[in-house]
Structure 1
Amino acid sequence: MSESVSPAATAYQLNSDLAKLCLPAASRDSLRRLAYVNSICAAFLLVGLVGLKMPEPHVRAIPEPVEIVPVVFTPPDQPPPTPQEDTMEQPPEEDLSQPTLDTPVVATVVAADPANVAFAVPVQGPVILAPARFAAPPPRVQRPPPPAPTRFVPTGKEVGSFPWPRSYPRQALLERQQGTVTLLVQVGTDGQPTSVTIHESSGYGTLDRHALEWVRDHWRWPPGPPRAYYVPFVYQLPK
């Protein structure tokens, strides 16, 4: 007859910590979840019991009102000012008869009505429109007179560059044109011709244009004050 063996006796128990870590189901406690629920319920119960106990209110006694007495403030008597203080407090009187430097005096200008004049009137300051017959025209700008021209024939000793043409104008040579052209040359401060015009023509446009363009493009004077010269150009056919 065989003996019966209880399951508890035949149950296998793990003693190794490593085996318990690798097999968590073996070390699981069936009552652990119930213990968690009981702990949470106990915590809520404790919080509820502490919250229901209200502190006793403290009642302060209200003091009786005190009668309000109005206070009238009287400023202290000020001592009479000394003569020195009166002199310092009173500002010095300004002399209105003479204008000060801080306030510019702008003269009033009488200008003509723009609808009745044909020129612009530049003014500064206050303007009073008056009929055109009472308004004076603006001052004219005085320009220095142009210098009086002198005769200039380069000899090779002057300072500057004055080359003569090396060839005769082809068209004038074919048509047998010759004569003398006198140019009026205005020279600026930098020594370059600012204006070249025909003062006396040779009678042939080809010769006049050739002389004018040659002086304008090739002749240069030294720097100096503005000058003016009469320059004769002689065109003579070779024999």
Structure 2
Amino acid sequence: MNKVTQPLRKRIQTAAIKKTSTPVVIYIAVGLAIVIAIAIKPLHEELSLNLTSEMIAVAFIIFVVNILLVNSKNKQWKIVSNRMDYLIARNVNQIRDGVATFALGFNPELKKDLPVDQAMTEMRSQRDLHLEQWEALSQDDFAERIADKLFQDEQLEYFNHRAEQLWSLLNMKYSEYLAPELVSHLMDLHIQLSDLCAHIRSFKKASWFIEDSFYYQESGRRGAAHNLRTIIGLVSRLKEEGYSEIPRMPEIGQDS
């Protein structure tokens, strides 16, 4: 029977910081000092004993300080981890929404009499289906069906802002404690968003170079299609791992 694997977000919440940033070379230096102190015992027994006892005391102090630092960092991380998770999940959700709306023409059909929470749930469900349908397209069909408004200044600014937001999160204090797998996904997402912006700029060059406009439009559109397909895969994976959440509102919970 296959084990049920918890989403990455849940696994991170239960994990603890197990080491500090104390360089390994310090431990090596203390160990070598103890070895040298023992080695000179035949030459000067009293000096050897003094040095050995002092080095052992130093090693003990470093050990105790490390334990205190680890405990302190764990307490700090527990305080900020939920907020970090929310910031990441909110950004991922906004990227999903931006891709679906600005690039893939998502336009939900909602009943007018639905309560707000039900309407939001229905909209997210329709958006998920919309993204799945786009993922199933061939590369050529995907490129041809991208909404033209993706290549406008407003969308370029939007996706560039999303890329900058991700980069800010990756460079935020305490981000070093994020799971490497999560950091890898976020870095890939940042790269794809940045490349998407580059391809939008390439498409827009068509208005500058009229004779070669087809080349710039075609290369920009196909490049954007590649980036968008990859972005959809990344945000879908992050959502599965628990990182997709709408801006918090009363009675409206996590995007799932």
Q: TM-score, normalised by structure 2?
A: 0.17
* Greater strand fraction, Structure 1 or Structure 2: 1
* Greater helix fraction, Structure 1 or Structure 2: 2
Q: TM-score, normalised by structure 1?
A: 0.18
Q: Which has the larger radius of gyration?
A: 1
